[in-house]
Amino acid sequence: MQIPRIPLGEGIEAFINFLVDHCAFATKALSAVLESGLDVLEDAMLAVPPLIFILVVSLLAWRLSKKKSIGLFALFGLLLILNIGLWKATVSTIALVLIATLIAIAIGVPLGIGAAMSGQIHKIVMPTLDVMQTMPAFVYLIPAIPFFGLGKVAAIFSTVIFAMPPAIRLTCLGIKQVPPELVECAEAFGSNRSQRLFKLELPLAMPTIMAGVNQTVMLALSMVVIAAMIGAKGLGGEVWKAIQRLQMGNGFEAGIGIVIVAMILDRVLQKVGTKKRN
């Protein structure tokens, strides 16, 4: 006896086609807004002379981390990127990561707060995050194309989906880890729910939330490389181009550029998170 095949793929495809038919006007409008914003940000960053930009970023890295070594690493790392001719691609990648991370945090942190405050939201959100974190990253590229078309906006969409789970999970965890004695003390002094959240739980959870932000940035940077397959360009585009043409040297140069950007962002965000913990 042959068991009939469950048409899972056909069902998912029909659902996505339904959403595309009925929501495409909204996604196209959103795509136009995001693309304009991304172009403005990129143009503004490219308008600054590279040496001044590098100097400002290095000083910011030093001031935020309070470590000269991180400032010097940012200075020499970015100078190396400029020297090997990947400055424009690097700026494009930074702009894309910045916008994707801001969207992921703007959605993720409120969802994490909701999951921490409501058992019902927690039961819905956590299994969804399990699926999001175990799904292969390449799969997120598939629905992004019909909704947003090829290009940077589709890359932002897939990057946000891929990078958002740590922001939700660690926000929820940080709030749940607030000692119950302090919560009881706040309640005893007559704090209502919003006062407890904004004056006690969120400040105490901030180091954990910053760890989630750090992970979101790192995942966004890694996804931007994968998203080059649908036209994200930037450093990921350079890697993808090198793979297609079997140019190993160019591929490694772009890879080193990504590593430098990732290490600068990681070290600075780690130090900011540590300072908040202290």
**Nearby residues of 94 by Cβ (< 8 Å), 6 or more positions away:** 45, 261
Which has the closest alpha carbon to 28: 149, 143, 141? 149
Confidence band of 274 (pLDDT split at 50, 70, 90): low
87 C-beta neighbours (distance < 10 Å), count:
17
d(CA 251, CA 242): 5
Write down all domains in the chain, each with its CATH number in brackets: 8-274 (1.10.3720.10)
**Nearby residues of 248 by Cβ (< 8 Å), 6 or more positions away:** 242
d(CA 182, CA 180): 5
Q: Are 151 and 35 in contact (CB under 8 A)?
A: yes
Amino acid at 176: K
The rounded radius of gyration (Å) of the Cα atoms in the chain is 21
Amino acid at 194: S
pLDDT at 275: 61
Confidence band of 278 (pLDDT split at 50, 70, 90): low
pLDDT at 246: 84
Encoded tokens for 83: 């020297």
Q: pLDDT of 107-122, one tens digit each?
A: 999 999 999 988 899 8
Structure letter (DSSP) for residue 5: P
pLDDT at 65: 81
Amino acid at 5: R
**Nearby residues of 5 by Cβ (< 8 Å), 6 or more positions away:** none
Encoded tokens for 240: 């993808």
Q: Which whole number is the average pLDDT over 216-243? A: 83
Q: Which whole number is the average pLDDT over 205-225? A: 87
Amino acid at 116: A
Q: pLDDT of 63-77, one tens digit each?
A: 888 888 888 999 999
pLDDT above 70 coverage of the chain, percent: 97
Confidence band of 230 (pLDDT split at 50, 70, 90): confident
pLDDT at 9: 82
- What is the full DSSP assignment across 69-112? HHHHHHHHHHHHHHHTT-HHHHHHHHHHHHHHHHHHHHHHHHHH
* DSSP three-state, residue 84: coil
Q: pLDDT of 83-108, one tens digit each?
A: 988 999 999 889 888 888 899 999 99
Q: Which whole number is the average pLDDT over 154-172? A: 89
Tokens 């196209």 identify what position?
28
Handedness of CA 132, 137, 143, 147 (dihedral sign): positive
Judged against a pLDDT cut of 60, whether residue 277 lies above it is answered with no
Q: Are 230 and 145 in contact (CB under 8 A)?
A: yes
179 C-beta neighbours (distance < 10 Å), count:
10
Q: Which whole number is the average pLDDT over 260-278? A: 77
